[in-house]
Structure 1
Amino acid sequence: MNTFHIRLLQPSESPPMPLLLLADPSEKQVLSYFDRGECYVALLDGEIVGVSVLLQTEEQTIELMNVAVAEQCQGSGIGKKLILHALDTAKQKGFARMEVGTGNSSIGQLALYQKCGFRISAIDHDFFTRHYSEPIWENGIHCRDMIRLTAEL
Protein backbone atom coordinates (compact mmCIF):
# COMPACT_ATOMS: atom_id res chain seq x y z
CA MET A 1 0.00 0.00 0.00
CA ASN A 2 1.40 3.38 -1.03
CA THR A 3 1.63 6.19 1.51
CA PHE A 4 1.35 9.72 0.18
CA HIS A 5 1.57 13.08 1.90
CA ILE A 6 2.66 16.67 1.32
CA ARG A 7 4.80 18.57 3.79
CA LEU A 8 6.94 21.68 4.07
CA LEU A 9 10.58 21.17 3.06
CA GLN A 10 12.70 21.50 6.20
CA PRO A 11 15.51 24.12 6.33
CA SER A 12 18.05 21.32 6.83
CA GLU A 13 16.97 19.62 3.58
CA SER A 14 18.49 20.42 0.20
CA PRO A 15 16.21 21.88 -2.47
CA PRO A 16 14.93 19.13 -4.82
CA MET A 17 16.61 20.90 -7.75
CA PRO A 18 16.08 18.17 -10.39
CA LEU A 19 12.32 18.38 -9.76
CA LEU A 20 12.28 22.19 -9.64
CA LEU A 21 14.10 22.28 -12.98
CA LEU A 22 11.39 20.11 -14.57
CA ALA A 23 8.98 23.03 -14.18
CA ASP A 24 11.49 25.83 -14.78
CA PRO A 25 14.60 25.00 -16.84
CA SER A 26 16.57 28.00 -15.54
CA GLU A 27 18.44 27.33 -12.30
CA LYS A 28 19.00 31.09 -12.05
CA GLN A 29 15.24 31.72 -12.16
CA VAL A 30 14.53 28.94 -9.63
CA LEU A 31 17.11 30.28 -7.19
CA SER A 32 15.69 33.82 -7.58
CA TYR A 33 12.44 32.76 -5.88
CA PHE A 34 13.21 29.56 -3.98
CA ASP A 35 14.77 31.13 -0.88
CA ARG A 36 12.00 33.74 -0.61
CA GLY A 37 9.17 31.24 -0.85
CA GLU A 38 7.85 28.18 0.94
CA CYS A 39 8.70 24.83 -0.63
CA TYR A 40 6.40 21.86 -0.20
CA VAL A 41 7.30 18.33 -1.17
CA ALA A 42 5.04 15.42 -2.08
CA LEU A 43 6.25 12.09 -0.75
CA LEU A 44 5.23 8.68 -2.01
CA ASP A 45 6.44 5.86 0.23
CA GLY A 46 8.99 8.26 1.74
CA GLU A 47 10.47 9.36 -1.60
CA ILE A 48 10.11 12.96 -2.83
CA VAL A 49 8.15 12.73 -6.08
CA GLY A 50 6.70 16.25 -6.33
CA VAL A 51 7.38 19.83 -5.36
CA SER A 52 5.64 23.19 -5.18
CA VAL A 53 6.86 26.65 -4.22
CA LEU A 54 4.59 29.41 -2.91
CA LEU A 55 5.70 33.05 -2.77
CA GLN A 56 3.77 36.03 -1.45
CA THR A 57 3.81 38.73 -4.15
CA GLU A 58 1.33 41.27 -2.75
CA GLU A 59 -0.52 41.76 0.54
CA GLN A 60 -3.45 39.51 -0.46
CA THR A 61 -1.78 37.57 -3.30
CA ILE A 62 0.41 34.49 -3.32
CA GLU A 63 1.94 32.94 -6.41
CA LEU A 64 2.47 29.29 -7.19
CA MET A 65 5.99 29.75 -8.56
CA ASN A 66 6.80 26.13 -9.32
CA VAL A 67 4.98 22.82 -9.35
CA ALA A 68 6.55 19.64 -10.68
CA VAL A 69 6.16 15.88 -10.47
CA ALA A 70 8.84 13.26 -11.10
CA GLU A 71 8.54 11.93 -14.63
CA GLN A 72 7.77 8.37 -13.49
CA CYS A 73 4.81 9.67 -11.45
CA GLN A 74 3.33 12.12 -13.96
CA GLY A 75 -0.28 11.44 -14.87
CA SER A 76 -1.04 9.89 -11.47
CA GLY A 77 -2.82 12.89 -9.91
CA ILE A 78 0.10 14.13 -7.79
CA GLY A 79 0.29 17.46 -9.65
CA LYS A 80 -3.40 18.10 -9.01
CA LYS A 81 -2.93 17.21 -5.33
CA LEU A 82 -0.01 19.67 -5.09
CA ILE A 83 -2.08 22.46 -6.69
CA LEU A 84 -5.11 21.80 -4.47
CA HIS A 85 -2.80 21.68 -1.42
CA ALA A 86 -1.32 25.04 -2.45
CA LEU A 87 -4.79 26.58 -2.85
CA ASP A 88 -5.89 25.23 0.54
CA THR A 89 -2.67 26.40 2.23
CA ALA A 90 -3.03 29.91 0.77
CA LYS A 91 -6.68 30.09 1.84
CA GLN A 92 -5.81 28.98 5.39
CA LYS A 93 -3.13 31.70 5.53
CA GLY A 94 -5.75 34.31 4.64
CA PHE A 95 -4.77 35.15 1.06
CA ALA A 96 -7.52 36.37 -1.28
CA ARG A 97 -6.03 35.08 -4.53
CA MET A 98 -3.42 32.82 -6.01
CA GLU A 99 -1.65 33.44 -9.29
CA VAL A 100 0.37 31.12 -11.48
CA GLY A 101 2.21 31.56 -14.75
CA THR A 102 2.94 28.94 -17.37
CA GLY A 103 4.15 28.82 -20.93
CA ASN A 104 1.90 29.14 -23.94
CA SER A 105 3.21 25.72 -24.99
CA SER A 106 2.30 24.01 -21.69
CA ILE A 107 -0.97 22.52 -22.91
CA GLY A 108 -1.40 19.96 -20.11
CA GLN A 109 -0.56 22.47 -17.38
CA LEU A 110 -3.02 25.04 -18.78
CA ALA A 111 -5.78 22.44 -18.67
CA LEU A 112 -4.85 21.28 -15.15
CA TYR A 113 -4.79 24.79 -13.68
CA GLN A 114 -8.22 25.52 -15.14
CA LYS A 115 -9.58 22.21 -13.79
CA CYS A 116 -8.35 23.36 -10.36
CA GLY A 117 -10.28 26.64 -10.56
CA PHE A 118 -7.81 29.05 -12.16
CA ARG A 119 -8.88 31.42 -14.94
CA ILE A 120 -6.65 33.07 -17.53
CA SER A 121 -6.07 36.64 -16.39
CA ALA A 122 -3.22 38.00 -18.54
CA ILE A 123 -0.57 37.22 -21.12
CA ASP A 124 3.02 38.41 -20.69
CA HIS A 125 4.09 38.47 -24.33
CA ASP A 126 7.65 37.30 -25.07
CA PHE A 127 8.38 36.59 -21.38
CA PHE A 128 10.38 33.45 -22.13
CA THR A 129 12.35 35.01 -24.98
CA ARG A 130 13.25 37.97 -22.72
CA HIS A 131 14.19 35.99 -19.60
CA TYR A 132 15.67 32.72 -20.89
CA SER A 133 18.86 32.53 -22.95
CA GLU A 134 17.95 29.24 -24.66
CA PRO A 135 14.72 28.73 -26.64
CA ILE A 136 12.17 26.46 -24.98
CA TRP A 137 10.16 24.02 -27.10
CA GLU A 138 7.32 21.98 -25.65
CA ASN A 139 4.66 19.93 -27.42
CA GLY A 140 6.18 21.08 -30.72
CA ILE A 141 5.42 24.71 -29.82
CA HIS A 142 7.95 27.48 -29.24
CA CYS A 143 7.37 28.72 -25.69
CA ARG A 144 7.39 32.52 -25.95
CA ASP A 145 4.55 33.92 -23.85
CA MET A 146 3.67 33.45 -20.19
CA ILE A 147 0.00 32.75 -19.64
CA ARG A 148 -1.01 34.16 -16.24
CA LEU A 149 -3.88 32.51 -14.38
CA THR A 150 -5.63 33.55 -11.17
CA ALA A 151 -7.81 31.72 -8.63
CA GLU A 152 -9.93 33.65 -6.15
CA LEU A 153 -9.74 32.00 -2.72
Structure 2
Amino acid sequence: MSAQVLMRRRKPEEFLPKELLMLADPEWSQVEKYLDQSSWMVAECEGRIIGVCGFMAVDSSAGEIMNAAVDPAYQGKGFGKKLILLTLEQAQNDGYKKVIVRTGNSSLDQLALYQKCGFRMVRIEQDYFVNNYPEPIYENGIQCRDQVILEMYTRER
Protein backbone atom coordinates (compact mmCIF):
# COMPACT_ATOMS: atom_id res chain seq x y z
CA MET A 1 0.00 0.00 0.00
CA SER A 2 1.42 3.40 -0.96
CA ALA A 3 1.60 6.35 1.40
CA GLN A 4 -1.06 9.04 1.13
CA VAL A 5 -0.12 12.42 -0.36
CA LEU A 6 -1.72 15.48 1.22
CA MET A 7 -2.22 18.69 -0.77
CA ARG A 8 -2.35 21.82 1.35
CA ARG A 9 -1.29 25.44 1.79
CA ARG A 10 2.22 25.92 3.14
CA LYS A 11 2.47 26.94 6.78
CA PRO A 12 4.27 30.31 7.21
CA GLU A 13 7.08 28.83 9.30
CA GLU A 14 7.57 25.85 7.01
CA PHE A 15 10.83 25.38 5.12
CA LEU A 16 10.62 24.65 1.39
CA PRO A 17 13.34 22.27 0.15
CA LYS A 18 15.88 24.12 -2.00
CA GLU A 19 16.56 21.06 -4.17
CA LEU A 20 12.85 20.84 -5.00
CA LEU A 21 12.55 24.54 -5.88
CA MET A 22 15.61 24.28 -8.11
CA LEU A 23 13.97 21.55 -10.20
CA ALA A 24 11.76 24.29 -11.67
CA ASP A 25 14.36 27.07 -11.63
CA PRO A 26 18.04 26.05 -11.62
CA GLU A 27 19.28 29.56 -10.74
CA TRP A 28 18.90 30.08 -6.96
CA SER A 29 19.29 33.87 -7.24
CA GLN A 30 16.13 33.87 -9.40
CA VAL A 31 14.22 31.73 -6.86
CA GLU A 32 15.20 34.08 -4.01
CA LYS A 33 13.50 36.97 -5.81
CA TYR A 34 10.04 35.41 -5.40
CA LEU A 35 10.43 32.86 -2.60
CA ASP A 36 9.13 35.02 0.27
CA GLN A 37 6.73 37.05 -1.88
CA SER A 38 4.76 34.01 -3.03
CA SER A 39 2.08 31.92 -1.38
CA TRP A 40 2.73 28.19 -1.69
CA MET A 41 0.73 25.02 -2.07
CA VAL A 42 2.59 21.86 -1.13
CA ALA A 43 2.22 18.14 -1.59
CA GLU A 44 3.30 16.24 1.51
CA CYS A 45 3.99 12.54 1.90
CA GLU A 46 4.96 10.97 5.22
CA GLY A 47 5.83 14.37 6.71
CA ARG A 48 8.06 15.40 3.79
CA ILE A 49 7.29 18.03 1.16
CA ILE A 50 7.45 16.30 -2.22
CA GLY A 51 5.85 19.01 -4.39
CA VAL A 52 5.44 22.79 -4.48
CA CYS A 53 3.52 25.39 -6.44
CA GLY A 54 4.16 29.08 -5.77
CA PHE A 55 1.79 31.92 -6.64
CA MET A 56 2.61 35.63 -6.59
CA ALA A 57 0.33 38.59 -7.27
CA VAL A 58 1.24 40.67 -10.33
CA ASP A 59 -1.50 43.21 -9.63
CA SER A 60 -4.96 43.18 -8.03
CA SER A 61 -6.50 41.02 -10.76
CA ALA A 62 -3.60 38.89 -12.05
CA GLY A 63 -1.07 36.54 -10.53
CA GLU A 64 1.70 34.25 -11.67
CA ILE A 65 2.69 30.70 -10.90
CA MET A 66 6.34 31.17 -10.00
CA ASN A 67 7.55 27.64 -9.42
CA ALA A 68 5.89 24.25 -9.77
CA ALA A 69 7.95 21.18 -9.00
CA VAL A 70 7.52 17.58 -7.86
CA ASP A 71 10.25 15.31 -6.50
CA PRO A 72 11.38 13.03 -9.37
CA ALA A 73 10.38 9.91 -7.38
CA TYR A 74 6.77 11.17 -7.36
CA GLN A 75 6.53 12.58 -10.90
CA GLY A 76 4.06 11.15 -13.38
CA LYS A 77 1.45 10.42 -10.70
CA GLY A 78 -0.67 13.58 -11.14
CA PHE A 79 0.65 15.50 -8.12
CA GLY A 80 1.94 18.42 -10.20
CA LYS A 81 -1.41 18.81 -11.92
CA LYS A 82 -3.25 18.63 -8.59
CA LEU A 83 -0.98 21.32 -7.11
CA ILE A 84 -1.52 23.60 -10.10
CA LEU A 85 -5.30 23.12 -10.05
CA LEU A 86 -5.37 23.77 -6.30
CA THR A 87 -3.34 26.94 -6.83
CA LEU A 88 -5.71 28.06 -9.60
CA GLU A 89 -8.72 27.40 -7.37
CA GLN A 90 -7.17 29.48 -4.57
CA ALA A 91 -6.33 32.28 -7.03
CA GLN A 92 -9.93 32.32 -8.26
CA ASN A 93 -11.25 32.32 -4.66
CA ASP A 94 -8.93 35.25 -3.88
CA GLY A 95 -10.40 37.23 -6.79
CA TYR A 96 -7.66 36.88 -9.39
CA LYS A 97 -9.07 36.87 -12.91
CA LYS A 98 -5.91 35.90 -14.80
CA VAL A 99 -3.02 33.57 -14.00
CA ILE A 100 0.26 33.57 -15.92
CA VAL A 101 2.96 30.90 -16.03
CA ARG A 102 6.35 31.08 -17.72
CA THR A 103 8.51 28.15 -18.77
CA GLY A 104 11.29 27.28 -21.16
CA ASN A 105 10.99 26.20 -24.78
CA SER A 106 12.77 22.94 -23.85
CA SER A 107 10.41 22.13 -20.94
CA LEU A 108 8.25 19.79 -22.99
CA ASP A 109 6.56 17.99 -20.07
CA GLN A 110 5.79 21.29 -18.34
CA LEU A 111 4.35 22.82 -21.52
CA ALA A 112 2.05 19.81 -21.87
CA LEU A 113 1.05 19.93 -18.20
CA TYR A 114 0.17 23.63 -18.23
CA GLN A 115 -1.95 23.18 -21.34
CA LYS A 116 -3.74 20.20 -19.74
CA CYS A 117 -4.55 22.53 -16.82
CA GLY A 118 -6.16 25.04 -19.21
CA PHE A 119 -3.33 27.48 -19.97
CA ARG A 120 -2.85 28.88 -23.48
CA MET A 121 0.41 30.08 -25.03
CA VAL A 122 0.31 33.84 -25.56
CA ARG A 123 3.91 34.99 -26.13
CA ILE A 124 7.53 33.94 -26.53
CA GLU A 125 10.45 36.00 -25.21
CA GLN A 126 13.34 34.99 -27.42
CA ASP A 127 16.73 34.36 -25.77
CA TYR A 128 15.35 35.04 -22.26
CA PHE A 129 17.31 32.20 -20.66
CA VAL A 130 20.47 32.95 -22.67
CA ASN A 131 20.39 36.57 -21.49
CA ASN A 132 19.30 36.02 -17.85
CA TYR A 133 21.02 32.82 -16.71
CA PRO A 134 24.80 32.49 -16.34
CA GLU A 135 25.01 28.86 -17.50
CA PRO A 136 23.30 27.23 -20.49
CA ILE A 137 20.31 25.03 -19.57
CA TYR A 138 19.54 21.84 -21.49
CA GLU A 139 16.38 19.73 -21.19
CA ASN A 140 15.25 16.90 -23.41
CA GLY A 141 18.39 17.40 -25.53
CA ILE A 142 17.30 20.97 -26.36
CA GLN A 143 18.96 24.19 -25.21
CA CYS A 144 16.55 26.27 -23.16
CA ARG A 145 16.78 29.62 -24.90
CA ASP A 146 13.30 31.11 -25.08
CA GLN A 147 10.70 31.77 -22.42
CA VAL A 148 7.16 30.65 -23.27
CA ILE A 149 4.43 32.65 -21.53
CA LEU A 150 1.08 30.97 -20.98
CA GLU A 151 -2.03 32.38 -19.35
CA MET A 152 -5.56 31.56 -18.46
CA TYR A 153 -8.59 33.35 -17.11
CA THR A 154 -9.79 31.69 -13.92
CA ARG A 155 -13.45 31.67 -14.99
CA GLU A 156 -12.54 29.54 -18.05
CA ARG A 157 -11.79 26.53 -15.88
Q: Tell me if TM exceeds 0.5.
A: yes
% identical aligned pairs = 46
On the 8 A contact 2:63/2:99 being kept in 1, the answer is yes
Q: Give the aligned residue type for 2:46.
A: D
Q: Partner of 1:89 in structure 2?
A: 90
1:139 to partner: Cα distance = 0.3
1:132 to partner: Cα distance = 0.3
1:17 aligns with 2:26: no
1:14 to partner: Cα distance = 1.9
Question: Take 2:150 and 2:104, find their aligned partners in 1: how far apart are those partners?
Answer: 11
CA deviation vs aligned residue, 1:55-79 (integer Å, no higher than 9, x gap): 0012210100000000100111101
> TM-score of the superposition, structure 2-length normalised?
0.93
Residues paired across the two proteins, number: 153
Q: Partner of 1:111 in structure 2?
A: 112
Question: Take 1:13 and 1:34, find their aligned partners in 2: how far apart are those partners?
Answer: 12
Question: Take 1:34 and 1:40, find their aligned partners in 2: how far apart are those partners?
Answer: 12
Q: Partner of 1:41 in structure 2?
A: 42
Q: Partner of 1:64 in structure 2?
A: 65
Question: Take 1:91 and 1:60, find their aligned partners in 2: how far apart are those partners?
Answer: 10
Q: Partner of 2:132 in structure 1?
A: 131
Question: Take 2:101 and 2:118, find their aligned partners in 1: how far apart are those partners?
Answer: 12
Q: Give the aligned residue type for 2:119.
A: F
Question: Take 2:114 and 2:16, find their aligned partners in 1: how far apart are those partners?
Answer: 24
Question: Take 1:36 and 1:112, find their aligned partners in 2: how far apart are those partners?
Answer: 24
1:15 to partner: Cα distance = 2.4
Question: Take 2:76 and 2:5, find their aligned partners in 1: how far apart are those partners?
Answer: 15
Q: Partner of 2:99 in structure 1?
A: 98
Question: Take 2:125 and 2:40, find their aligned partners in 1: how far apart are those partners?
Answer: 25
Question: Take 1:101 and 1:128, find their aligned partners in 2: how far apart are those partners?
Answer: 11
RMSD: 1.1
CA deviation vs aligned residue, 1:104-150 (integer Å, no higher than 9, x gap): 00011101100110000111111101110000000000000000000
Q: Partner of 1:151 in structure 2?
A: 152
Q: SS state of the match for residue 58, structure 1?
A: coil
1:41 to partner: Cα distance = 1.2
Q: Give the aligned residue type for 2:85.
A: L
Question: Take 1:45 and 1:91, find their aligned partners in 2: how far apart are those partners?
Answer: 29
